[in-house]
Structure 1
């Protein structure tokens, strides 16, 4: 529905211009950032959040059947967790975990209440809640969508992830390839 919504699709008409000239297609279309457009257009923001839930629902079963969260303890923080659908699936299957769904305040304000999940609003580029484990979803295949709508979006190779993880203090990591367009990266501070 998001791609067929005229307001949400319109930045794609500016994508080639954006690539040639620089800048973000959504800004060239709306005159403001996508987040600012969402702030003044709750229906478009809901449409975007619903699309993120839909893409999560397409892969959550594969993630859950290919990754065992049982070894995690305490609190799992889903950074950029949207309205909490993924985290709800995890803590429902692994009730020994408590979850913090962390996303922008206007995103988590529309999230449903889930048992074992606390919704926290904030800016992940400023600070994230404390937890014992952290979960971040990045999807290959979403790159054109995110490139069109958001500044600074970039898909990363495993080599780039290794550099980022090492710079953040994660000296050891493991990439788990699963039969979707995502991989799971476990990263450890040691």
Structure 2
């Protein structure tokens, strides 16, 4: 059995120990608008700026000291493949003195808004919020006191109640949801899943601002789209053509409808709450009705080490355990079990990617 000798041969723990510093440094660069400043200075990955040139576009009390500190931040990002470094003469008169300039790598380009105005920056920023980090510091309490979520332990109230009082974070959270929908729903689910074609009416239960059902209706204009959500969310939602807005609470009852979509809803809740939602869906549907479940980070039946998809799913599961009381990422078998327990008789699974799935629950067997 290896003991002390193994310390000098294994650096994995060292890398993990430094990961929070890297994440917060990356978040700092996003907050300072570093990546956008470089991107605006020239096309693609060819543009390079010095720390002084970047600081000239950032409000600071001391530009000289700020440029020195920023360079240290940029150096860390460069060795972690977020920036490239090149050298150029510091002055036109003295070409022997060179200064570092920094450009965007492929890893950094995803943090700059694309042609549709979407980037991965909200993902970094939401994960770097102090209340999230404080909750993760209480992760051990999920084992010591499993009745109480780490978030509740840290802040004294449930996650969604807490963030509802933080309008600035709500805006960031909405950007995160737009980003996730753009990546997984718009460019994965809508391209691969054809089950919407046969529908005449679809109610998006817990459908956020209505953008998802609006995209479905725009792609399939014959569908009568309904966005069903809490009054507080419906009142602030933008109005989309072809979408009807209905206020209510999915835990109390769901209006009668021909078919229902639950997009990233079930992972927020424990099994009993999920069963309550699905039971209300069952009651709302006609005999030939169905529920369409969309989940982005399903837990694979077999865990394969070091694949990005599996790591993202397992990490998402830990975040759900940290932030919510009972929320979790599930396997397709676990979701199927929830559906069967409330009366659905058939489950159809449509894998979109390794961890993104569309799952249909049928109220009766197709004859």
Q: Which ranges of structure 2 fall in alignment gaps of 5 or more residues? A: 1-124, 264-294, 298-312
| Corresponding residue for residue 161 of structure 2 | 36
| Corresponding residue for residue 198 of structure 2 | 71
Q: SS in structure 2 opposite 1:77?
A: strand
Structure 1-normalised TM-score? Answer: 0.87
Residue correspondences, number = 189
The higher radius of gyration belongs to 2
CA 1:180–1:65 in structure 2 vs 1: closer, same or farther (change >3 Å)? farther
Ranked by relative contact order (alpha carbons within 8 Å, sequence separation 6 or more), the top structure is: 1
CA 1:76–1:180 in structure 2 vs 1: closer, same or farther (change >3 Å)? farther
Contact 1:83–1:111 (CA under 8 A) maintained in structure 2: yes
Q: Are 2:138 and 1:11 equivalent residues in the alignment? A: no
CA distance in 2, matches of 1:91, 1:124: 22
- Deviation at residue 62 of structure 1 after TM alignment: 0.6
CA distance in 1, matches of 2:172, 2:232: 14
- Deviation at residue 71 of structure 1 after TM alignment: 0.8
| Corresponding residue for residue 296 of structure 2 | 139
CA 1:45–1:91 in structure 2 vs 1: closer, same or farther (change >3 Å)? same
CA distance in 2, matches of 1:155, 1:31: 24
CA 1:107–1:143 in structure 2 vs 1: closer, same or farther (change >3 Å)? farther
| Corresponding residue for residue 162 of structure 1 | 336
Q: Which ranges of structure 1 fall in alignment gaps of 5 or more residues? A: none
- Deviation at residue 113 of structure 1 after TM alignment: 1.1
CA 1:78–1:9 in structure 2 vs 1: closer, same or farther (change >3 Å)? farther
Contact 1:172–1:188 (CA under 8 A) maintained in structure 2: yes
Q: After TM superposition, where is structure 1 displaced by more than 4 Å over at least 4 residues in a row?
A: none
Range with bigger deviation, 45-54 or 84-93: 45-54
| Corresponding residue for residue 62 of structure 1 | 188
Q: SS in structure 1 opposite 2:139?
A: helix
| Corresponding residue for residue 105 of structure 1 | 231
CA distance in 1, matches of 2:140, 2:351: 32
